Amino acid sequence: EVVPTCERYAVRRLPFARLEGGDVAFFERLMPGRVVTGEEEVKPFNVDWLRSVRGCSQLVLKPQTTAEVSQVLRYCYERNLAVNPQGGNTGLVGGSVPVFDEIILSTTLMNRIISFDKVSGILVCQAGCVLERLNEYVEEQGFIMPLDLGAKGSCHIGGNVATNAGGLRLLRYGSLRGTVLGLEVVLADGSALDCLTSLRKDNTGYDLKQLFIGSEGTLGVITAVSILCPQKPKAVNVAFLGCQSFAKVLETFTTCRAMLGEILSAYEFMDEKCMELVERHLKLSSPVRDSPFYVLIETSGSNSSHDEEKLNNFLERAMASGLVTDGTVATDDKKIKASHLRERITEALTHEGYVYKYDISLPVGKLYDLVTDMRARLGQSAKNVVGYGHLGDGNLHLNITADSYSHSLLDAIEPFVYEWTARCSGSISAEHGLGFKKKQFIQYSKPQQAVVLMQHFKAMLDPKGILNPYKTLPSRA
């Protein structure tokens, strides 16, 4: 059983109103049959995917329209009831579940595709659409979603935007800050902000949507998204390589970028410990064996024979120069298998017990040094210290496992990991956000002046602080 977050982290509840019978009656009149109150029924919404944090909400609301979200927030604002917006609940920093008894506003029924333009590739949809379903829908029209995550089968596009999710396609298609064209957002007081434009270029005033991308539900509830989808590549190829050192992984990347150029869509790396865990817990086998490091390269292009030729030339060069000791270019049936190895590391790690997760941006040359230093620092007190990530974006996922949660192990990791990152001018959260677990460490990546300005934005848009409280920003003194 997961210890309630407020007990484990000794957080104090802010003076929000408490839920009363009249409140539940109001919501049941507003959306009959879409109000969840039973203790067992509410339970899954209170615990995060990692089972590392747990809230104590007694109420889940499932609106279907922006108008309903507006009415819910207007009511909560007047009553001073705190609200926790929740999408697919696949977040990794405790941002998607309550800390105390906040009302959970689930977007799970807001799953309508509003429009898709086959010429421009612009998709407009409600926030609760599941990423994988959207990808299947646009694929039928000859396009793909510009982001791809391991959690695609359950994460919602609204949650992706609210957390500015990164993932496997960022190297090729950029971040959501570039591909999201417009948003519809309901503010804390219930007013709806319609910035759901489908224009690639719009230079009229401040770009308000950027405030909400990555704001983790603390400034408004995203209800609809307009997003630019790239053309579906006609040819996708995957290469899986083994390298003898991290220096070789870096050199391979330089060669790869030079030789594959515009068709390179992903460059992922993992250490041998990751591979061992994926094989042991998920029974997936690697096409390449006995290497300290593994690299997954994906190419996406419009000409199959041209891309394969480029990839094979690159592989020959990498093998001949000793950068790569073993490698394979995957055929169609093996493609998914090779990609799965990388995508399912997170899942494999959860079988190891408690996982301390760190999502760091660093200068590429220093990326793996943090893993080496952390192994030396923790010694036998940790079960595993592993590193993998999006090398093309300078994004390391550092994971430390133990049989169960230990406060002394956490003290040995934090703030050391953040101090180390700050010394390298890195970011303590590359793509997962700050949520509940990392909000007090924001100063390692942002100057005080920036944090104060963020707090001013929060106070202006949500003066009562009812939206996703206790998350993203440190408590004001």
Asked if residue 243 has pLDDT above 80, the reply is yes
Average pLDDT over all residues of the chain: 94
What percent of the chain is predicted at pLDDT more than 70?
A: 97
Whether residue 39 contacts residue 47, with contact meaning beta carbons closer than 8 Å, is answered with no
* Domains of the chain, first to last: 5-106 (3.30.43.10), 113-228 (3.30.465.10), 235-424 (3.30.70.2190)
Q: What is the average pLDDT across 309-319?
A: 94
Asked if residue 187 has pLDDT above 60, the reply is yes
Q: What is the average pLDDT across 379-401?
A: 95
Query: What's the confidence (pLDDT) of residue 137?
Result: 98
Per residue in 131-172, pLDDT (tens digit) is: 999 999 999 999 999 999 889 999 999 999 999 999 888 889
Per residue in 450-466, pLDDT (tens digit) is: 999 999 999 999 999 99
Q: How far apart are CA 138 and CA 180, in angstroms?
A: 15
Query: What's the confidence (pLDDT) of residue 321?
Result: 95
Query: What's the confidence (pLDDT) of residue 286?
Result: 82
Per residue in 332-350, pLDDT (tens digit) is: 655 556 666 777 888 899 8
Query: What's the confidence (pLDDT) of residue 344?
Result: 85
Q: SS3 sequence, 143-158?
A: ECCCCCCCCCCCCEHH
Query: What's the confidence (pLDDT) of residue 337?
Result: 63
Q: How far apart are CA 174 and CA 183, in angstroms?
A: 18
| Tokens linked to 290 | 């006995």
Query: CB 394: neighbour CB atoms within 10 A?
Result: 18
Query: What's the confidence (pLDDT) of residue 335?
Result: 59
**Beta-strand relationship, 293-301 and 235-243:** antiparallel
Which range is least confidently modeled, 236-240, 407-411, 416-420?
236-240
Query: What's the confidence (pLDDT) of residue 332?
Result: 61
Q: How far apart are CA 218 and CA 463, in angstroms?
A: 11
Which residues, in sequence order, are bridge partners of residue 328? 240
Q: Please give the biggest Cα pair distance in the chain.
A: 74
Query: What's the confidence (pLDDT) of residue 95?
Result: 97
Burial class (CB within 10 angstroms; exposed 0-12, middle 13-18, buried 19+) of 283 = exposed
Per residue in 198-210, pLDDT (tens digit) is: 899 999 999 999 9
The whole model's pTM is what? 0.93
Q: What is the average pLDDT across 398-416?
A: 95
- Residue 9 pLDDT class (50, 70, 90 cuts): confident
Per residue in 41-55, pLDDT (tens digit) is: 999 999 998 888 999
Long-range residue pairs from 170-173, CB within 8 A, at least 24 positions apart, any chain: 170/390, 170/393, 170/431, 171/264, 171/265, 171/266, 171/267, 171/390, 171/392, 171/393, 172/264, 172/265, 172/266, 172/300, 173/146, 173/147, 173/230, 173/265
Q: What is the average pLDDT across 386-409?
A: 94
Q: What is the average pLDDT across 427-453?
A: 96
